């Protein structure tokens, strides 16, 4: 008699044991999709391990129901997902589901997967007619040499915007192909993925595909299957593509490695960049982490010798960095306007010269703050502790967290006065102002609202702007990084303070990164670029650093602050997140969990902060508290968090809440 340990998509941090009938013995191999009975219902799962014995009562172990097909995960991917589950203190079933396109359900018998056919009509591969800078050549030689030699080697490719990092990625992928393998390239944004995959397709002539959640499930499964068969040379994708089943990866690239988008914010809270580094280590291959504004932790790893830093300090073709000018909005005196006088003048000049403009505002919708001037009423979400955002197309009030929406009122529903004040302008309001000030300008808007309405729209918008079919591109962080438009000579930051004053230790770092990235979209062609940054806090170090270009001093000061308050990279953290529908139960459970964490704190050498309500204390009708564990030893901090969670999940504890771990959190709001 033998047994199978099966991962199921349930919020339980364990594998489930089933007896393997003799007729299924040869098919129920690790990685095989199976159907089992779980709590009196049929569920699909994946065999993770086989065992000859079990500590359970054999008479009470249920048999496998069906084996649904051949293995969908290789031993390497099983090992990777098990590491992810263990490191991030997560249910193994959630890690397995993250590695499979569209989850476990339906994958084994997917028509799109079974019908996946390699395109044998290859396009014309473009020759590498790029004149490399000396720094590019040194970086390419280092990475390509590591690919050819084999072995784990982490590189931090620190290059200013327009310094040619993508060319390094392309040459690394070619080295991987020449060595008989494949390249995996991760990007933080879907829109960026479409543009990068186009560059790889031109250079390689084909055998390149995308993997990300904005693709339909069928297309994702088709591309996943082609990758599994080895029919692709390069896979480009967002966070979940880190699990792409390429059979012979020779190099992994993480573009814009600093981006918080690589961190999953719900359920399995893994970090795509860190999983990529671990996967490269398990495979014994090089990994390239590229950015103009590396994460503070990555810079610290390079300083410690953990990563090898490759510098690209100059733009290609000796192009100048754009000039950055600060516009102090406190002196503008035009309440309600998104476009300052200097910015309006600069846009006018570009339109007259036939050049293009990129405007960035990291806030979608029309107005984030709606309030009655008569009685003070403000519309609030019924499921979340947050005010609703006004949208104009269609005209409604929306919650950006749970999706709740309702009709936008023309007058206050409380006092009936038509005196609604609109504040916190978003991209829709900026778009309306552009239409009023520049009625002849062709304006395109790209934000999450546009992308959600049509998943193919971001690609179409970016292609249209690149083709010169619009004069102004207005958008959120979807347009802030990685995009290359040679005719953009002006970048306008409409509000640099959007996230600067959030109660989070990474707020300054994140603001600096975004401003540097979006500034880098200007002057990438033959004409010099200019950046206008509108702010009410021009003296803030993050904004001053962008204006002066003194990145080294900003990072030095930021590290000194982090060291003083003992935050990463000088400590490791795990946040324990407690949520439930009853506010009193959540508070009670949070206090109990904190007491348990304090009881083991000395044993593991950790500090416990909290508990306290999260900044957004109610989300989708779930009340939310958290506590933070900090320590110098990453394994001990996770062990302490795991001990607290295990105590909370003991049978009979009945805390009536859900407890989740956020290992290495990117924010502590």
What are the distances in angstroms from CA 299 to CA 285, 289, 322, 332? 21, 11, 24, 38
From 258, 274, 293, 295, select the one nearest 154 (Cα to Cα): 274
Strand partners of residue 630: 573, 607
What are the distances in angstroms from CA 586 to CA 484, 530, 627, 658? 48, 51, 12, 9
- For residues 261 and 271, what is the distance between their CA atoms, to the nearest angstrom? 9
What are the distances in angstroms from CA 649 to CA 433, 597, 606? 54, 14, 21
- For residues 341 and 348, what is the distance between their CA atoms, to the nearest angstrom? 11
Q: Are 445 and 427 in contact (CB under 8 A)?
A: yes
Q: What is the pLDDT of residues 285-307, one digit of tens each?
A: 999 999 999 999 999 999 999 99
- Fold equal for 2-101 and 134-317: no
Q: What is the pLDDT of residue 120?
A: 60
Q: What is the pLDDT of residue 372?
A: 83
**What's 572-663's CATH class?**
alpha beta
- For residues 290 and 492, what is the distance between their CA atoms, to the nearest angstrom? 25
The alpha helices in 73-164, defined as continuous H runs, are 75-87, 92-99, 111-114, 134-149
**Token pair for residue 25?**
């013995």
Q: What is the pLDDT of residue 382?
A: 84
Backbone angles phi, psi at 5, to 5 degrees: -95, 120
Backbone angles phi, psi at 564, to 5 degrees: -65, -40
Q: Where are the domains of the chain?
A: 2-101, 134-317, 319-364+426-561, 572-663
Q: Is residue 364 left, alpha or beta, with left meaning phi > 0 and alpha meaning psi from -120 to 50?
A: beta
| List of the chain residues with pLDDT < 50 | none
Q: What is the pLDDT of residue 168?
A: 97
What homologous superfamily is domain 319-364+426-561 in, according to CATH? P-loop containing nucleotide triphosphate hydrolases (3.40.50.300)
- For residues 96 and 104, what is the distance between their CA atoms, to the nearest angstrom? 8
Q: Are 511 and 499 in contact (CB under 8 A)?
A: yes
Q: What is the pLDDT of residue 663?
A: 97
Q: What is the pLDDT of residues 464-511, one digit of tens each?
A: 999 999 999 999 888 887 788 999 999 999 999 888 887 788 999 999
- Lay out the sheet containing 530-535: strands in order across: 323-328, 530-535, 488-493, 356-360, 472-475, 443-446
Q: What is the CATH number of domain 134-317?
A: 3.40.50.300
Q: Which residues of 227-239 are buried (b: 16+ CB within 10 A; e: fewer)?
A: bbeebbbbbbbbb
Q: Are 146 and 280 in contact (CB under 8 A)?
A: no
CATH classification of 2-101 is 3.40.1440.60, yes or no?
Answer: yes
What is the DSSP code (8-state) at residue 402? T
Helices (H) and strands (E) in the chain, counts: 18, 27
């Amino acid at each position: 008699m033998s047994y199978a340990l099966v991962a199921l998509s349930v919020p339980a941090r364990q594998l489930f044991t089933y007896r393997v009938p003799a007729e299924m013995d040869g098919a129920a191999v690790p990685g095989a999709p199976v159907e089992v009975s779980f709590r009196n219902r049929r569920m699909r799962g994946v065999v993770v391990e086989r065992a000859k014995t079990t500590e359970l009562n054999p008479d009470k172990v249920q048999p496998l129901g069906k084996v649904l097909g051949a293995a969908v995960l290789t031993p390497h991917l099983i090992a990777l997902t098990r590491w992810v589950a263990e490191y991030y203190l997560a249910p193994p079933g959630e890690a397995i589901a993250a590695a499979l396109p569209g989850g476990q359900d339906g994958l084994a018998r997917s028509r799109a997967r079974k019908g996946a056919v390699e395109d044998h009509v290859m396009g014309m591969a473009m020759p590498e007619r790029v004149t490399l800078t000396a720094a590019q050549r040194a970086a390419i030689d280092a990475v390509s040499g590591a690919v050819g030699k084999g072995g784990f080697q982490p590189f931090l490719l620190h290059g200013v915007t327009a310094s040619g990092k993508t060319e390094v990625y392309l040459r690394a992928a070619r080295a991987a192909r020449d060595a008989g393998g494949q390249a995996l390239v991760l990007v933080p944004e879907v829109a960026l993925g479409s543009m990068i995959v186009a560059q790889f397709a031109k250079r390689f002539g084909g055998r390149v595909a995308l993997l990300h959640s904005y693709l339909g499930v069928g297309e994702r499964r088709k591309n996943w299957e082609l990758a599994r068969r080895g029919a692709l040379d390069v896979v480009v994708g967002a966070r979940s593509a880190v699990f792409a089943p390429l059979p012979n990866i020779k190099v992994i690239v993480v573009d814009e490695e600093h981006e918080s988008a690589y961190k999953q914010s719900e359920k399995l809270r893994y970090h795509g960049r860190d999983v990529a580094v671990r996967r490269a280590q398990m495979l014994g291959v090089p990994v390239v982490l590229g950015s103009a504004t590396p994460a503070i932790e990555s810079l610290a790893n390079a300083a410690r010798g953990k990563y090898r830093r490759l510098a690209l300090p100059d733009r290609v073709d000796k192009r100048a960095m754009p000039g950055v000018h600060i516009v102090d909005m406190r002196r503008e005196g035009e309440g309600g306007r998104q476009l300052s006088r200097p910015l309006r003048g600069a846009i006018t000049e570009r339109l007259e010269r036939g050049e293009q403009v990129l405007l960035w505002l990291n806030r979608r919708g029309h107005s984030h703050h709606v309030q009655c001037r008569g009685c003070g009423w403000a519309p609030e979400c019924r499921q979340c502790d947050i005010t609703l955002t006004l949208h104009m197309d269609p005209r409604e009030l929306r919650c950006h967290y749970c999706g709740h929406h309702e009709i936008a009122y023309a007058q206050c529903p409380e006092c009936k006065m038509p005196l609604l004040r609109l504040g916190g302008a978003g991209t829709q309001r900026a778009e309306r102002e552009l239409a009023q000030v520049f009625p002849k300008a062709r304006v395109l808007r790209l934000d999450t609202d546009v992308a959600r309405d049509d998943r193919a729209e971001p690609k179409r918008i970016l292609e249209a702007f690149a083709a010169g079919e619009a004069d102004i591109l207005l958008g959120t962080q979807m347009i802030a990084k990685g995009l290359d438009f040679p005719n953009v000579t002006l970048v306008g930051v409409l509000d640099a303070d959007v996230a600067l004053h959030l109660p989070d230790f990474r707020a300054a770092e994140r603001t600096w990164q975004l401003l540097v990235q979006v500034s880098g979209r200007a002057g990438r062609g033959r004409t010099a670029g200019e950046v206008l940054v509108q702010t009410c806090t021009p003296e803030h170090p993050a904004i001053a650093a962008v204006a002066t270009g003194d990145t080294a001093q900003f990072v030095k000061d930021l590290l000194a602050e982090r060291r003083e308050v003992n935050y990463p990279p000088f400590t490791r953290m795990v946040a324990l997140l407690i949520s439930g529908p009853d506010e009193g139960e959540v508070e009670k459970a949070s206090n109990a969990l904190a007491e348990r964490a304090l009881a083991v704190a000395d044993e593991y050498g950790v500090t416990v902060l909290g508990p306290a309500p999260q900044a957004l204390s109610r989300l989708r009708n779930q009340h939310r508290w958290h506590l933070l564990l900090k320590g110098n030893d990453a394994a001990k901090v996770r062990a302490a968090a795991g001990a607290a969670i295990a105590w909370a999940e003991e049978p009979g504890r009945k805390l009536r809440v859900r407890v989740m771990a956020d290992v290495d959190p990117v924010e502590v709001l």
